[in-house]
Structures are given as structure tokens and as C-alpha cells.
Amino acid sequence: MSKMNFDDFFKNEARMFMLATIRIALSEDGPDLTSQGLFEPSDIARAQIITKQKTVVAGMPLIPLILEFGDQDKKCEVFINVDDGETVDEGALLAVMEGPAALLLKAERIILNYISHLSGIATLTSQYVKALEGSKTTLLDTRKTLPGLRYPEKYAVLMGGAQNHRLNLVEMLMLKDNHIDRAGSITNAVQKLRETYDDCPPIEVECRNQQEVVEAVKTEVNRIMLDNMTPAEAAEAIKIIPDSIETEISGNVTLDTISNLAKIGADFISVGGITHSAKSSDISMRIFQI
């Protein structure tokens, strides 16, 4: 599957949220009094972004956006050497920037925070994707993302080669235990949703046991999640779900277990850890005054 283009992903609502996080990041830092006190507005510097480890890169198009927000009256030239989704070796030169020294210094940490975090997600995701090679199963993320960073983190997942589960609570309706308990049954919950929404979004049901799977199948929902089942339980459940209903395995999936879980034959395996537990990639910026 080809990886999505940055501008194709960050449009409309996604772009609005992404730009808002940049504004907040810059506002959190406030003015860089140290750099302003030591550099003249005419002082020009060159910056290089270099990775200190092998990594899958994500977030490079954010660099010019951050610099533009930093000071719209002062422009920096930005030369990006790698594409998002590309795997680079330790020591790779990712980008070069040239512009006012104070502007580059103010933007340095914010740029590195974004790129390091997103590249870490893309790198960990790619490891899970590799573990699924040869199977029919596709890796999905979850909504276990940092508040405000939902879209950048899910974009990084795409750069790592996986797919997004759902970006928000509108794209797919998911029935969990609280919803099912409230409605009295899976059947009642599905019926209520379909009656409530004329153009009902796809429905997924979290099933905790075999009996719930059987009931969910009868409602002909779009997807059934096998939640925290043992491999043996999931394998038995898969047998009774028709091909017309997508299947997803979720819960306590690790790099050590995902290959064996893929043998069960589910359409998807979702892993929250690729966003909430990814270690940031080691990326640095070197700034030289010209």
C-alpha cells in the first residue's frame, strides 16, 4: 500500500488541528529572550537536522510550517532531503535550513519534538508491519493518542506502513461493553443505532466471548472485534464469522505475539502501543552562524 501524501492527509479539519498544535507549541515557549538578547536580526545561521539512529522518518513537511509560524516576517530557506515514510541510516542528513539565527534557535526544540516523536511512531509501526509480512492481516492503530496530536500521530502510523482505525468517533460507531449493557444486548444496541441515524456509519462490536460473537454475526454489523481473547478463543471465534464481516483482534498485542496472532487469519490487528508507547527517534539539529 502506498503511503499517503502529507497534504492529502492534512486538509480541512486535520490541517486545522495540526496548525493549532503548532501555535500552542510556540505559545508555550514564549519569546526566546536568550537568542534575542545575543543575536541581531541580521545574523544569519545554517541548521542541519541529522538522525543519530536508523529510523523511519515522519513529519518533515512540518519544518517550514513551524518556521513560518515562528516569524512570518522573516523567511528561512528549507531543503528537505528525505521523504516521509523513508527509512534512513544513522547519520543521515534529513534537512538543511538557512535564515535568521534567532528564528532557527527558537524553532529548534519544537521542530525536533515533532519529528522525533512522529518518526518514533513510524519506526515502531514499521516493526509491527514487518512482523505481519506474509499474512492477510493489516495493522491498525487506536485512539490511544496524545490529546491534540491525534492527526499527526495517526499520520505517522501511515508513514510506518499501517492503517488508521478511525480518526474520530464519527467515522465508525463502536459498541463496547458499556453501550451493550445500556441497551440490554448487542442486538438492541445495533438496532437502536440504525434507527437513530438515517445514514448510519459502519458499526463495529467489541465481543468478549463466543456468545457475543454469535449474536453480533446475526446483526450483520460491519466489523467484529475480538477483545482480549486468548489465541485459542480468537481462532474459534473467527470460524463462525462470515467473510462479509470484517474481523479485528485487539488487546495486549506485542511484537513478540503479533506474528502468531496473525496466523489466526483476522483481517486486522489493532495495537495501541504504536502510538502511546513509541520511543522518540534520536534526531538532532546543528546550528552554525554564517
DSSP three-state, residue 66: helix
> Considering only CA atoms, which of 152, 141, 85 is closest in space to residue 253?
141
What are the grid coordinates assigned to 95, written together? 534537512
Given the residues 11, 23, 52, 109, select the one marked as catalytic. Answer: 109
SS3 178: helix
Catalytic residue from among 108, 212, 227, 267: 227
Mark whether 98 is an active-site residue: no
Catalytic residue among 204, 206, 212, 267: 204
Catalytic-role residue among 144, 192, 194, 208: 144
CA angle 37, 75, 88 (to 5 degrees): 100
Place of cell 496530536: 149
**SS3 (DSSP) at 105:** helix
Does the annotation count 176 as an active-site position? Answer: yes
Candidates 157, 161, 138, 160; CA nearest to 223 is 138
Question: Residue 196 has which C-alpha cell?
Answer: 437513530
Cβ atoms of 108 and 47 closer than 8 Å: yes
**Closest to 154 in 3D by CA, of 143, 205, 207:** 143
Q: Is 180 exposed, middle or buried (0-12, 13-18, 19+ CB in 10 A)?
A: buried
Catalytic residue (choose from 130, 143, 176, 194):
176
CB 62 within 8 Å of CB 155: no
**Beta-bridge partner residues of 49:** 95, 285
What sign results for the dihedral spanned by CA atoms 168, 29, 277, 135? positive
**CA dist., res. 150 & res. 252, Å (int):** 21
Grid cell locating 145: 493518542
Give the phi and the psi of residue 24 in degrees, each rounded to 5.
-65, -45
Please confirm, yes or no, whether 40 is among the known catalytic residues: no
Give the residue numbers marked as catalytic.
109, 144, 176, 204, 227
